[in-house]
Chains A and B, each alone.
Chain A
Amino acid sequence: MENFEYFEPKTLKEAVGLLVKYKRGARLLAGGTDLMIEMKGGYVKPKYMINLKKIKGLDKISFGKKEGLRIGALVTWSTLLSSKPINQYYPVLRETASLIGCPQIRNIGTIGGNICHASPSADSAPALMIYEAQCVVAGPGRERIIPIEEIFAGVQKISLKQGEILTGFHIPTPDTESKGCYLKFSPRKAMDLPIVGVGVLVTASNGTFQDVKIALGAVAPTPIRARRAESFLFGKPVNDQSIRKAAEEAMMESKPITDMRASREYRLGLVKELTYRAITLSISKNITQE
């Protein structure tokens, strides 16, 4: 690992200033669970390391029924897991956090870091997508709000401009009738990346689908929403046939590759199967609630 100059800015303004000054030679340090591996592997060689953790306010969670959830980029998975509002109103996010890594990783890994690493299989992406999170971005100019989908620019590429820092997420309060889940398919039950990840949020009433969000991870260069599958379900009867057709649609919207973890063919099959299961599972939660 190459050495670097190290900074602990106390304010966002200071951090942004450093980023602007040092440009591509600088890296932001959140939890470090991805960055440290990249540096040790020699893939990334920052000359300037900017530790964000001394900036107040980036690790806070706040919730109001009207305002929704504000979650700072530096909130760790462990903190997220112990948050009552998240547990109550955003259970899929909580479910996602419990499936990430292991205690050591969850104690220092952050939700912002996970998104900014922008892996196609980022575990946090499907949940944030189905809850339609907005990313709050600070930078040299004005604060920007970017819908979560638009922050991904490609494999391990985010669409932030030079000097910009993701400071957190704003997630509207979901419909109280909505139920969802995140299905992560991986060979192991811990310390694993998903071969396919499916996040689903479903609202149904009177036996028809009212609103469905389907987000897929690890099956395209970025995490994606399966919008055609979502549209298909709107107004359709809640039955096996509709769900199977939607799952088929979702499969066709995905663009997985073959890599050492799985083949394209298998991933397509998994998208179909897991989307079907995720919607069915969510619906059954719905029914139980009534």
Chain B
Amino acid sequence: MKKSQIKIKVNGEWYELTVPNKKTLLDVIREDLHLTGTKKMCDTGECGGCTVIMGGMVVNSCIVLAVDANGKEITTIENLSQIGKLHPIQEEFIDKGAIQCGFCTPGMILSAKALLDQNPNPTELEVKAAISGNFCRCTGYVRIVNAILSAAERLRSVNDEGI
């Protein structure tokens, strides 16, 4: 049998799917779930364009087999904002000029989220390390790093206020 049944929780919803064993999590996200925010940029785990958060950690979904993701909780970029309300990381990316062609942006934002979830007060070096697997060809990363540091500051002040 070269197909398997899997259950994955994506953006808070459980999906039951039958997938070829060789199908990657990225292809399931894009083709079966029609969530095209996660991008196929290299398909070999070398660029971070397909970054999703799985089990609380960033992974390159193009080198994770969908069958291996069975039972796991996955967050894609689509989950980050509610209609009409952006996540502070998204707002800072927009305000600080961290977005140009936008293709690397979803993966970049999720790497930022995973970082700030674990380390609310990162140094500039820690930010660069956190996105070191997310390639960008347009920005030179400067504004992206600024945006993440700004987002960290905003999130800290929100948390400090106990909201």
Contacts and interface: CB of A to CB of B under 8 A. Distances in A.
Q: In the complex, A touching B, CB below 8 Å?
A: yes
A109 to B, nearest CB: 9
B21 A5 contact: yes
B65 A32 contact: yes
A53 B115 CA distance: 25
A190 B132 contact: yes
Interface string A90-110: 000000000001111101100
A2 B22 contact: yes
A5 B2 contact: yes
Contacts of A32: 63-65, 68
B157 interface: no
Interface in B48-88: 48, 51, 57-60, 62-65, 67-68
Given A29-B68, A104-B51, A107-B57, A191 B63 contact: no
A289 B63 CA distance: 43
A33 interface: yes
Contact of B58 (A2, A41, A107): A107
B27 to A, nearest CB: 10
Given A6-B21, A37-B63, A107-B59, 14 more contacts: A3-B21, A33-B45, A36-B45, A36-B63, A37-B44, A40-B44, A49-B65, A51-B67, A51-B68, A53-B68, A102-B134, A103-B129, A103-B130, A107-B58
Interface of A: 1-6, 29, 32-33, 36-37, 39-41, 49, 51, 53, 78, 101-105, 107-108, 189-191
A1 B44 CA distance: 12
Interface residues of B, number: 31
A191 B132 contact: yes
A5 B60 CA distance: 23
A102 B57 contact: no
Given A4-B2, A33-B45, A37-B44, A103 B63 contact: no
B114 interface: yes
Contacts of A40: 43-44
A33 B68 CA distance: 13
A108 B59 contact: yes
B37 interface: no
Contacts of B163: none
Nearest to A49: B21
A190 B133 contact: yes
A41 B43 CA distance: 11
Contacts of B67: 6, 51
26 contacts: A2-B22, A3-B2, A3-B22, A6-B4, A6-B65, A6-B67, A29-B65, A32-B64, A36-B44, A36-B63, A37-B45, A40-B44, A49-B65, A78-B57, A102-B134, A103-B115, A103-B132, A104-B58, A104-B60, A105-B45, A107-B57, A108-B63, A189-B132, A190-B129, A190-B132, A190-B133
